A and B are shown apart, each in its own frame.
Chain A
Amino acid sequence: MMKKTIITVVGKDTVGIIARVCTYLAENKINILDISQTIVQGYFNMMMVVDTSESLKAHGDMADDMDRLGEEIGVIIKCQKEEIFDKMHRI
């Protein structure tokens, strides 16, 4: 069964953000289901829906790794299980 996580990247747009995140995901067997991006109030917002059912990393470890990766690139990367959005926006 799929276990969906939402990865969001917020910050200044720079070269290679998606590449860095995707490399990490591929290395850890996390499948990308959807990617979308937009500019909100001057900030680059990227959202990925990923399936972590085969992931080599536990959610907490993945979130920590993403925190670190975000710091390196100079953006904020968050990993949240899909349910929080689903519960809030769907009846």
Chain B
Amino acid sequence: MINIYEVVETNNMIEKENLDVRTITLGISLLDCIDSDLSKLNDKIYNKIYEAAKDLVKTGEEISREYGIPIVNKRISVTPIALIGGAACKTVEDFASIAKTLDKVAHEVGVNFIGGYSALVSKGMTPADELLIRSIPLALSQTERVCSSVNLGSTKTGINMDAVRLMGEMIKETAEYTKEDDSLGCAKLVVFCNAPDDNPFMAGAFHGVTEADKIINVGVSGPGVVKTALEKVRGESFEILCETIKKTAFKVTRVGQLVAQEASKMLGVPFGIVDLSLAPTPAIGDSVADILCEIGLEYAGAPGTTAALALLNDQVKKGGVMASSYVGGLSGAFIPVSEDQGMIDAVVAGALTLEKLEAMTCVCSVGLDMIAIPGDTKATTISGIIADEMAIGMVNQKTTAVRIIPVIGKGVGETVEFGGLLGYAPIMPVNGFSCDAFVNRKGRIPAPIHSFKN
């Protein structure tokens, strides 16, 4: 039988170390909603999502009550809208009307984000894909809870540089459209290389076409739990360090697995995956950067950061894989800047630069995430940053992403406040040398060779 010390340990993780289930995300296929009549399409989308998700928030709260574990977010992901709206949408306004429908139903069922205002264009763009991408600034400025993502490349297809160039422009335009709110629209827009079909985390969640009609995916969290566990093994060897992370990740992930199975049973929707993640929040003690410091760095960004992060990421996966029957999504440590107090501190101290963050993305989950840059950064420069990050994902057969926010009207040294889980960020300097001629070339970067590995 469970003993009192185990009970106290679990409850301390929850109460003092910010252990929580970060999100239950209900994936919903909209493929059966496709219609060439826009208003019928919008009605079908609304009805399907409403019917599938009306009990989601209530179910999440009930599970939270039963086990005494906070479930921070309840969210929805849908089939990429470029596929769903292609037959009906002839203008950017047509596509934006679907975004409004998604926003409306998100409010109605009480979820805080809905993801899937997306296009998958890793090799080429259909007219519908391009129209959706061009509608992103309008869609994100007219909605509150809609998240948008675009897959620009993959290991198998290479990188669609025409789409990379277009996204640089769209990120700038989204920043302009939402400049009254410190360019907040860009915090809900992410571009990927090798985007997973079953990611429960925003802004990049969408319900892939390889998925079932409905599915439950769960993202766990717990940087604070790992940090506290590591405080007890200061100065010990790498072996003990790694074992400690692994065991802690196991415990954290088991909670995610339990919640996923319960949600699946209560909603009558199959369980998809648990995303083995270390997802920080701006709350004190809920930071991935703090774990890096506990491993032995003065600040995240100091020499040794990439190695420490590689180790952390790998042990989280090793511990988590055994704790869950199905693992997927992004799975790994997240290193967003604005959502992690330790990362913010590192930037302010001058320890962490955009270039070091890029190196860190080679060994962990996702990529350049929630980074505020000067509002006057050129679109081609943003495209260059995206191309670099896509190349890392393509060559290393991993998911990489870029979510950067050119904050209109602000420059280096200033701070931007997004609020809530999105946090705040100091504006980081960007390398000012031009990549115009590179970005303005047409076509795509071919897929890399998979032999002769060096």
A60 near B62 with CB under 8 A, answer yes
Nearest residue in B to A33 (C-beta to C-beta)? B1
Given contacts A60-B62, A89-B251, contact A84 B1 (CB under 8 A): no
B11 pairs with A81, CB closer than 8 A: no
Interface contact tally, CB-CB below 8 A: 64
Taking a contact as CB atoms under 8 Å apart, the answer to whether A36 and B257 are in contact is no
**Whole-angstrom distance from the CB of B34 to the nearest CB of chain A?**
40
Contacts of B4 in A (CB 8 A): 36-38, 45, 47
- The reply on B40 being an interface residue by CB < 8 A is no
- B65-73, B98-106, B326-334 - the one binding chain A: B65-73
A63 on interface, CB distance cutoff 8 Å:
yes
| Per-position binary interface string of chain B over residues 257-295, scored 1 when its CB falls under 8 Å from any chain A CB and 0 otherwise | 110000000000000000000000000000000000000
Docked complex: B38-71 residues within 8 A CB-CB of A: 62, 65-69
Assembly CA distance A60 to B67 (angstroms): 10
Smallest Cβ distance from A27 to chain B, in angstroms? 21
A83 pairs with B68, CB closer than 8 A: no
CB closest chain-A residue, reference B259? A84
Chain A residues, CB < 8 A from B1: 34, 49
- Within A32-87, the residues touching B (CB, 8 Å) are 34, 36-38, 40, 45, 47, 49, 59-60, 63, 78-87
B10 CB-CB contact with A under 8 Å: yes
* Other-chain contact of A80, B8, B67, B254 (Cβ < 8 Å): B67
Count of residues in A whose CB is under 8 Å from the partner chain = 27
Q: Is B6 an interface residue (CB 8 A)?
A: yes
Q: Is B437 located at the chain interface by the 8 A CB criterion?
A: no
Is B2 an interface residue, CB under 8 A from the partner?
A: yes
Given the known A-B contacts A49-B2, A87-B258, A88-B254, are A8 and B7 also in contact in the complex, defined by CB atoms under 8 Å? yes
A80 with B2, Cβ < 8 A, contacts A40-B8, A88-B254, A88-B255 known: no
Q: Is the CB of B65 within 8 A of A78?
A: no
In the complex, what's the smallest C-beta–C-beta distance from A11 to chain B, in angstroms?
Answer: 13
Q: Mark B227-266, 1 if CB is under 8 A from A, else 0.
A: 0000000000000000000000001001101100000000
Q: Return chain A residues, CB-CB under 8 Å to B68.
A: 78-80, 84
CB of A6 within 8 A of chain B?
yes
Chain B residues positioned under 8 Å from A90 (CB to CB) = 2
Interface residue? B431 (CB, 8 A): no
Residues on A lying within 8 angstroms of B by beta carbon are 6, 8, 10, 34, 36-38, 40, 45, 47, 49, 59-60, 63, 78-90
* 8 A-B pairs with least C-beta separation: A80-B68, A84-B67, A87-B254, A47-B4, A89-B6, A85-B2, A36-B4, A88-B251
A–B Cβ pairs within 8 angstroms, 19 of them: A6-B7, A8-B7, A34-B1, A36-B4, A38-B8, A47-B7, A47-B8, A59-B66, A80-B68, A84-B69, A84-B258, A85-B2, A87-B254, A87-B255, A87-B257, A89-B6, A89-B9, A89-B10, A90-B2
Given contacts A8-B7, A89-B10, 15 further A-B contacts (CB under 8 A): A8-B8, A36-B3, A37-B4, A38-B5, A45-B4, A47-B4, A49-B1, A60-B65, A60-B66, A82-B2, A84-B67, A84-B69, A87-B255, A87-B257, A88-B10
By a beta-carbon cutoff of 8 Å, the part of chain B in contact with chain A is 1-11, 62, 65-69, 251, 254-255, 257-258
